[in-house]
Chains A and B, each alone.
Chain A
Amino acid sequence: MTHDANTEMDRFGVDRDQVKPRRKRRGGRGEDLMVPEAEFRSYYGRPIIKAPVWKNPDVPLYLFLGGLAGSSSVLAAMASATDRPTLRRASRLAAAGGAVGGTVFLVHDLHRPQRFLHMLRVFKPTSPLSVGTWILSPFATFAGLTAATEVTGWFRRTGNVTGVAAAVVGPALATYTAVLFSNTAVPTWHEAHRHLPVLFGSSAAAAGGGFGLVFASVADNAPAARLAVTGAVVELATERTMEHDLGMLADVYEKGRAKTLMTASKACLVAGAVGAVVGRRKRWSAALSGLALLAGSALTRFGVFDAGIASANDPAHIVVPQRERIRRREESTRAGSTPPDRRYAPSAGS
């Protein structure tokens, strides 16, 4: 039960706003509720599942850096093939920097960081974190080697080969983190398992393209701008769809810090995308747009992370959808057959 102050606060409801169910919510969009407004019972309003003990900002930053690195690696390989030296250089450095920085955050997030190599004991397809480790390790190696050849100018051909290898692995690094989040019991994450990969993938595109806009010359940055704008548009659309499909579970995106972060993220993405379309050919406006896109991408990860913590701490997110599930199942299997746990009970009992 002992955690850092942040977790402790979230978990034990000092921040009651995150734990208490709302009376009236989702103003004009009430008809979109996946489950109807329902009273629910709980054990003194306490959380039912444990909120992730992952550290903030380590994990959201790792997600952002992984996405940045993943999409940058593809940009770098393509820039190398199409002879865009400034974009190649920027993207290669972003890929390596993102991978190395992400690894540092991932290790720091461990509660026993000296044992980080235990991650490589096994390969477990059932564990997204294990798979992610095995994606990150080769990627960081390839991207690091590529960046080293870029900086030193030695073994350029080897650098091109390792750059392609990194680009093959890169996109997986950007999207596996969606599985990492959705393969938990956290309702807002788990129920978004069809949206999160697209959200994180497009967010990664916005970040990689944004980085290219900031650091590549205007002569080279057209592909970066295209990728960034595509990413931003898809991300905004996916985020909207996700909140719609989540129904009552989306309420965590509409209050508290998650709301602030997601709103800021949308503003940054819109500004960055518009800037990239309009001002790509001017150095300063391209750089500003790129920064906005990077910020938007990072803020999305922070917002999704915060929403998940709030969701885990809200017993309504567990009880109400699960009760609804039971109700539907009983309807479909039809009355008369009482659920197995009440085999001897009259169905009117509850």
Chain B
Amino acid sequence: MNYIFYFLIVISIISGAINGRLQEVVNSILTGAELSVKVAFSLIGIMAFWLGMMEIAKKSGLVEIIAKIIKPITKRLFNEIPENSPAVGDIAMSFTANAFGLTNAATPIGIKAMEELQKQNIDKKSASNAMCMFLAMNTAGFQLIPATVIAVLIGIGYKNPTEIIAPTLLVTSIAFISAIFIAKLLEKFWKPQNNAAQTDSDAIDGGRR
């Protein structure tokens, strides 16, 4: 994250200077900062609502039931996390929300899942393999119906906007499946989480094998 942060900002300033848009770049600091607070504040209400709903789902055992149903899939994808962890149920709920295009619900539920994954993380500062997998699947943005896009197409008088649903589904599935494979592949080649914690993770892995 350190490098991303550095390069994003320094490259923007340098290229802004070359393009003669330094003023715009400087102004954009304020716009960006303002927007991030707006986003965070607009999340509060809906976040509270879905975290409340998820708490009911968890207490009633619904999350656990969902976790059991999809266990065959999650066992392979998230082999680090215990099978009956509430994280599995949260992850499943989060993908359900995403698949139906319920972005408002997907973010709070996704954050809930991250919190559960963090409980099992051996190094609280760095991302566990399960987190990387969850994020990779999430950024691929699997969605059954691209509702916003269809709304725009209807707005410009597109005759048959639903014809893009099938190709979009095909593309998003390709991206989703590749995300899973890429994450699995990188997991093998990437340096394991930091040294102090590594011995722990080896011990756990060894024990499981």
Check if A and B associate. Answer: no
User: A residues engaging B (CB < 8 A)?
Assistant: none
> Hey, which bits of chain B sit against chain A, CB under 8 A?
none
